[in-house]
Structure 1
Amino acid sequence: MKLLISSIVALLAGILSALLIPVGEGVNSFLLHLSSLSINIGRYIVFPMVFFSLAIAVCKLRREKKLIRTVLITALLIAASTVLLVSIGVLVTIIISPSRIPLIVETRSLFDLADQRNTFMSIFPQNMFTLFTGNSNVLLPIYFLSFILGFIMYRDKEVSEPAFNLFDSLSRILFELNMVISGISPVFLAFISFSLTRSIKSIPDRAMFSNLILILSISSAVIILIAYPLALYLTDRKTNPYKTLYNLILPLFHGLISGDSFFSLSILTRTLKKNLFISRKISALTLPLNAMFAKAGTALVTSVTFLTILKSYSSLEITLYQIFWVILFSILVSFTLASFPAMGVYTALYMLSEFYSRSHTGLTDSYLLIKPVVPLLIGFAVLIDVATSALITLIVSRKSTLE
């Protein structure tokens, strides 16, 4: 409760400071650097914590004969949530009908998709030790190696027990360190909310994006306040789903304000363990996997935004073909964004623009239309991604407990 209250106070302080207190360019630049530093500190412990905790989780789940089932259930929930959320977003878009955004001239952004192309190739580098010095946005190689080590630890307890104990000890130590770091997260939120508010404040002609923001706000409310509580109720009718949702307010704030899935992973790990009593073996397996691939919120924001872009580039109504094309490609592209914890929406929109322009001329740079509101779009996407990650982990945990 104290952490939640202090986080809300910090958020308000950051927002009000950005709105009311005039600062010079030098001070503003310094505060923006502090915002970036805050996200770095929030992510600081995530990779090593995943590495040591996942191996223990895999070994324990394999000993209990629950590993394959847990992975399959998680994968099915990731796929189902992505399809469901994109459908909800598109339905809300059709009902409200996006208003056209005036075409503006923007400088083309240079996208480096090397990380995306090399995500799966990086699982097997020529030197395994380079995994620990790789890109800070690419978690999959670390996840895969830890999974394999945990899988092997199961085979010979006498040989693997010393390694198991070492990994277990380091996992617990790193979890405690994560508790300390997440405990000072209100300081981070103050700087990050200041930076985000300044970005929003500097958007020219914010009113022309109001309809898009309205659609995303309604979609988010329907998902977080109706769809997900209903799913929680159906999986456990003895627990009030809104009480569970209340306990998730803090990680949801982190997702919305930071726009970074890995930054949010730190506080989400703490919340699920301390407030919702999810076992380490479940959260250690599912949460990192969700942070990489459970991009249902990103897919939703991508589909809604791209339909708005299509509407802006044409005087005609959006056709059924365009709707189904956007649904399909938003879902498919979302599964390729494991190496984009913070810029997933913008990257996905760039990819959809490239794909769509192959059969429709003049839309190659259409994603630039929404460049001014990218921070807001990313915030909405990660907010729903964090909620989705928490929901999947809770359902998997309840399923495992029943078994």
Structure 2
Amino acid sequence: MMKDFALDDIKKAQEVIKDSIKRTPVVECALLEDITGNEVFLKLENLQKTGSFKIRGALNKIANLTEEEKKNGVIASSAGNHAQGVALGATAQGIKSTIVMPATAPMAKIAATRNYGAEVILEGTVYDDAYKKACEIQKETGATFLHPFDDKFVMAGQGTIGLEILDDIPNVDAVIVPIGGGGILAGISKAIKSINPNVRIIGVESANAASMLEAIKRNEVCEICSKPTIADGIAVRKAGSLTFQVIKENVDEIVTVTEDEIARAILFLMEKSKVVVEGAGATPVAALLAKKVDLSNKKVCAVVSGGNIDINLVERIMNKALMLEGRRYKFSIILSDKSGELNKIVQILSSNNANILTVNQTMYEEALEINKQKATFVIECFDMDHRNLIKNKLIEAGYEVK
């Protein structure tokens, strides 16, 4: 058990950082209530300074450094959000900062970290690669290493979110929190369980990087074989040792969500709640939408941990989510190579209120018969029922839809 991490540490952190962070709002999401049967609130850490909760832990850790540690400069590894918090906090105190990030980190996070005054080094494809490189540099330079999650002061800083949730929703029944290395979940769970043990705490991981769930199953921290995930902020192969201890004591359940479920949650939050969120921040809502948590008629708070999504990725995610919901549909039809054949399909689509986004017609495919052409369409539909109606109309007209 981790006995040297207590509620008092979180309350002290709240005093230390309160003038340097934003008290983020809690907003009700009525549509999620209709879908899930729970009264759902969103804790919008995407509106935090630097666009993520990570600044809380970073500022608290920097505030607790000795003068000698500050003089040596600081180094950190991060998928992007901890990087920005460290860079901003270090620069504000005149401390030199070096951040090692995966080369696959969103360009927006890399650029923001540099703009906050840090030297950025890119290494590997996931957080763990960057962590190893940062440890090497730390040994060479003697800089003070600031761990993104496995640190008491960092966990305490993230735990201030839990205190704010209890202030804003005193009778909350359940809180759902993303998990990467476990810092935010450890902090929030410790804060809330210390005050009200009856609140249900649920952690959510990407199914492609479920290192904490595996640690809980094995009862020990271990390195997993992760897969790429759009929730880059929680793509951690090995959960924290300290966070594992706190989570084991205070968290009721851990669930996972798929890439498709995360994509649909990002679309939902943008379209229905006007909330811009990154993959990691969407995981609690993904768990609710996919009914991964057994909650009914409860007051639930989903922590939207960050909004630093790469704008270049947004269109891809939106396209994927729209296709999953039947609102975009790509299909191909083999046509006779003669005048007017394409127009017949266009007439069916237009008469059934489909909006054509792209059409590609070609005879240059080896498998096609000499007198045939292939037409590939991408259309917009209202929903899955509308998509199926259009498909059936084409089939009724004698076309084979692929």
Q: TM-score, normalised by structure 1?
A: 0.25
Which structure would you say has the larger Rg? Answer: 2
Q: TM-score, normalised by structure 2?
A: 0.25
Determine which structure has greater relative contact order: mean sequence separation of CA pairs < 8 Å that are 6+ residues apart, divided by chain length. 1
- Higher strand proportion (structure 1 or 2): 2
